[in-house]
Structure 1
């Protein structure tokens, strides 16, 4: 049995610039980290040539083309692989803004390469995942999640106009790195959403609305400023950048936020948070807040109707955790 563990990610600043509609006109960049919430994939030979796939549903089929799970179907088609049993377990529900779909894709690719006895690089995993999700399945998504899941760590991920992607690790002082994690809090809004719906609208606006394109451009510039804050250990200033980023992000599409989420954000700031955002494309899922520890009890109390999910940073990206063939 082959097992992989692939992290989810938290995207701080610059999301949306990983869409082709943006980076084909101006270089994009995202500041993000992988976290200690994971997608686990296990692949085991099935006792005959059938294929069994277990996720929130269980499928048992004779042929690859009969698989309903689109990512599994297309990856198994690429590998031309029958007679396997594929199981997945996730720490966090899908549709909550942590890049779970791409973590699944990267994790399954990693597991199947290992199943064939192949060792592949994080770049190969990320590029292949982008190909499956964007080129084959025509998902209206960007490239940041696949690279964050494959590489892991705290990085700037750069999206160049020729379609290439560069990973730039951020090197912080160890004490500041630990303190940053202590200042970040994540709360589940209780709602999930389809990232596709939000991103379709955002892509349309980037193409047709100059002001929204310029807002996205300002967010990429803020990535560079935020990196400077982290490298120089100016953490509260980083929190302020999160706030400025959220103000810009919510202008990109009417589907990103709503009056309920605006009220949550305003209450968090009144409770001591310096900045924050809805993670992922927006429209639901998790709120992330930067809040100094001295105000965190107040923030927890005032957001007691939301589920807090503690987390730490992950440094390693997708890993093989079991290889028993």
Structure 2
């Protein structure tokens, strides 16, 4: 066997503007932007050539595996949870035998874009093995399209941009395309890290269900849903200004406002237990809080007073939540074989 090609892509914390990234909804709320920060809970994929034509997939984060006699014989009917990975291998793998090993540090259903980061890393690793030169924009479209096929509901763009580029991003969805802007440099991101706390609530959920509900209501012209999207747009623009001003207290305030906007509009995004935990954490030193992604469980992101970290983690643990690393990832997608780095073109 040859040396494996390894790709790593970060997940993210969404600060504002999530759901505005789903096409074509963003066309109706211009300017539409999403603000997120990539974190070092990474998805990692290693692809190794092997003799013969058989392809073996080891999804260690799911505790699942599959073997197919060849790329042409790949199927996911008996293992639907592996459909996204199987589709990526089927469409991108070169001829010949492969071992594909995947892992994602973000818990399943965390709301931090783990499956999208995994799609990006898998596509990048397979492209490198096949000696394909793939632009970042093409990689984003490919990963998004395959994941959409697998989950069968519309997906937004923001997770793929965080996975490919890393850092703190303002992603603008305009009439002629998508534009990403860096909205915070390393010095401020280091300061932000000191005030970030990420908690896993231990309640995995399918985020696509909430987003699909909003999508249908929006396309159907529901007035309350249209008003919600207008409020999400306003929150995202305010969050962009807060990041540009490097104002942590404004970031926390808008994080709270965005969470309340979402929670009122879609009650399934929260629960009495989540509401109670957020109230307790705010009394103990959290100044901003919202559930990541489309809600319903998963991860809770907080802006905190640094000296309260230990107390907040203890409170969360007593409530059954687990703290996760929230180091900001500024590298984005990295692909290498041994000491050889593969550059993903712009």
The residue that corresponds to 1:49 in the other structure is 53
Q: Which runs of 5+ in 2 are unaligned?
A: 341-346
The residue correspondences of 1:39-78 to structure 2 (distance < 5 A) are 39-55=43-59, 56-63=63-70, 64-67=73-76, 68=79, 69-78=82-91
- Whole-angstrom distance in 2 between the partners of 1:123 and 1:107: 14
User: Relative to 1, partners in 2 of residues 1:62 and 1:15: Cα closer, same or farther, differing over 3 Å?
Assistant: same
Q: So what's the TM-score if we normalise by structure 1?
A: 0.92
The residue that corresponds to 1:11 in the other structure is 14
Moved more, 112-121 or 9-18: 112-121
User: Relative to 1, partners in 2 of residues 1:263 and 1:207: Cα closer, same or farther, differing over 3 Å?
Assistant: farther
- Whole-angstrom distance in 2 between the partners of 1:79 and 1:234: 43
The residue that corresponds to 2:131 in the other structure is 117
1:153 to 163, 167, 170: 167
User: Relative to 1, partners in 2 of residues 1:137 and 1:196: Cα closer, same or farther, differing over 3 Å?
Assistant: closer
The count of aligned residue pairs is 323
Q: Which runs of 5+ in 1 are unaligned?
A: none
Report Cα offsets for 1:272-308 as digits up to 9, x if no partner: 2121111111111110111122333332333232211
The residue that corresponds to 1:292 in the other structure is 305
User: Relative to 1, partners in 2 of residues 1:173 and 1:232: Cα closer, same or farther, differing over 3 Å?
Assistant: farther
The residue that corresponds to 2:335 in the other structure is 320
Matched, 1:229 2:236: no
Report Cα offsets for 1:65-109 as digits up to 9, x if no partner: 324421222223323644211001222222111101111110011
Matched, 1:92 2:101: no
- Whole-angstrom distance in 2 between the partners of 1:288 and 1:80: 36
The residue that corresponds to 1:212 in the other structure is 225
- Whole-angstrom distance in 2 between the partners of 1:321 and 1:171: 27
Name the SS for the 1:113 alignment partner.
helix
- Whole-angstrom distance in 2 between the partners of 1:309 and 1:105: 22
The residue that corresponds to 2:271 in the other structure is 258
- Whole-angstrom distance in 2 between the partners of 1:324 and 1:119: 19
Shift in Å at residue 172 of structure 1? 4.3
Name the SS for the 2:19 alignment partner.
coil
- Whole-angstrom distance in 2 between the partners of 1:248 and 1:146: 25
- Whole-angstrom distance in 1 between the partners of 2:271 and 2:292: 14
Shift in Å at residue 137 of structure 1? 5.6
The residue that corresponds to 1:197 in the other structure is 209
Moved more, 240-249 or 40-49: 40-49
Moved more, 143-152 or 295-304: 295-304
User: Relative to 1, partners in 2 of residues 1:324 and 1:182: Cα closer, same or farther, differing over 3 Å?
Assistant: closer
Name the SS for the 1:71 alignment partner.
helix
